[in-house]
């Protein structure tokens, strides 16, 4: 399932063909959005932003296409003359004179004006995007210690989109392992240096995954493992999905637990109970 880094990469692709371009044709596959087609055709896309799993395609007439990637939504960007080979249902088509961005299958799509953007239930509740360029280590550390978050087990907090939008299941395991923090601990119990380390690793792992296309281990480690003949599936993570395998830091056995009804992977030696 896509997490913040995957959504941001999809948004980058859409932005590359749409931003600054006049959209000659707008088509919606959902009946209730059809009235917007004529209002948006001929307008220019100014930005493609993300907020966790939500993508916001902004137009210069102050309307925004909100698309929330539930499970199967997928954007394709192709030249105008091509259509992707897919059996999926077309939900949104945005065509410039050379390219088109096509959204298939996503179910939660809306066209919002400025007021609706500020009152939208998901957007109002969601925290800052984990890949927001303004999100700094001190800001995350401060957020961890905020009254509404500091008494929550970190393993649960790191799935909550209200804390950081775009955080998700693999990022949670990888970030907590990298910071050496037991997921049952609460931010309130962290020493200031632990809190800073967690904030730093949150950014580091999320950005590395974004840049590498889903690999959270360092580039050096990835190349070494690749050279040894290890497959991408087996080298891309530190702990996620590696139950029963050796910890890359200490050699202990990686364990799988359930938290927030999803699988969580840890090394008990690297992440001692607090
Ligand atoms: Zn370990």
* Res. 69 pLDDT band, cuts 50 70 90: confident
Q: What pLDDT, on the 0 to 100 scale, is given for residue 121? A: 94
Q: What pLDDT, on the 0 to 100 scale, is given for residue 82? A: 86
Shared domain check, 188 and 117: no
Radius of gyration (C-alpha) of the chain in whole angstroms = 20
pLDDT > 90: what percent of the chain?
90
pTM given for the model:
0.93
Shared domain check, 16 and 95: yes
Write out the residue range of the structural domain in which residue 207 sits. Answer: 137-266
The contacts of residue 87 (CB under 8 Å, 6+ apart) are none
Q: What pLDDT, on the 0 to 100 scale, is given for residue 87? A: 85
Q: How far is the CA of 252 from the centre of ligand 1 (A)?
A: 5
Shared domain check, 89 and 114: yes
> What span, in angstroms and rounded, lies between the C-alpha atoms of 132 and 57?
16
Q: How far is the CA of 123 from the centre of ligand 1 (A)?
A: 37
Asked if 53 is an active-site residue, the reply is: yes
Total tally of structural domains belonging to the chain: 2
Shared domain check, 84 and 109: yes
pLDDT > 70: what percent of the chain?
99
* Res. 81 pLDDT band, cuts 50 70 90: confident
Shared domain check, 261 and 141: yes
Residue 23 lies inside a defined structural domain of this protein = yes
DSSP at 98: S
Residue 273 lies inside a defined structural domain of this protein = no
Residue 184 lies inside a defined structural domain of this protein = yes
Asked if 2 is an active-site residue, the reply is: yes
Residue 162 lies inside a defined structural domain of this protein = yes
Residue 274 lies inside a defined structural domain of this protein = no
For the ranges 106-115, 130-139, 174-183, 244-253, the lowest mean pLDDT is seen at: 106-115
Of 125, 157, 187, which residue constitutes the final position of a domain? 125
Q: How far is the CA of 163 from the centre of ligand 1 (A)?
A: 27
């Amino acid at each position: 399932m896509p997490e913040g880094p995957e959504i941001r990469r999809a948004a980058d692709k859409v932005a590359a063909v749409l931003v600054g371009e006049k959209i000659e044709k707008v088509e919606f596959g959902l009946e209730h959005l059809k009235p917007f087609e004529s209002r948006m055709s001929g307008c220019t896309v100014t930005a493609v932003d993300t907020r966790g799993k939500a993508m916001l395609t902004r137009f210069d007439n102050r309307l925004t296409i909100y698309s929330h990637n539930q499970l199967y939504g997928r954007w394709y960007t192709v030249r105008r003359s091509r259509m992707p080979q897919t059996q999926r249902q077309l939900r949104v088509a945005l065509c410039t004179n050379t390219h088109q961005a096509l959204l298939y299958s996503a179910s939660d799509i809306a066209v919002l004006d400025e007021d609706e953007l500020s009152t939208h239930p998901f957007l109002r509740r969601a925290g800052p995007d984990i890949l927001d360029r303004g999100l700094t280590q001190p800001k995350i550390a401060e957020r961890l210690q905020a009254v509404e978050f500091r008494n929550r087990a970190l393993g649960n907090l790191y799935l909550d989109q209200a804390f950081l939008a775009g955080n998700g299941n693999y990022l949670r395991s990888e970030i907590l392992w990298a910071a050496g923090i037991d997921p049952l601990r609460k931010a309130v119990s962290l020493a200031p240096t632990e809190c800073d380390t967690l904030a730093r690793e949150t950014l580091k792992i999320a950005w590395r995954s974004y840049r590498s296309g889903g690999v959270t281990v360092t580039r050096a480690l990835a190349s070494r493992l690749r050279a040894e003949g290890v497959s991408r599936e087996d080298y891309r993570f530190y702990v996620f999905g590696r139950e029963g395998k050796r910890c890359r830091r200490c050699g202990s056995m990686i364990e799988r637990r359930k938290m927030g009804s999803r699988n969580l992977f840890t090394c008990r030696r690297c992440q001692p109970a607090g």
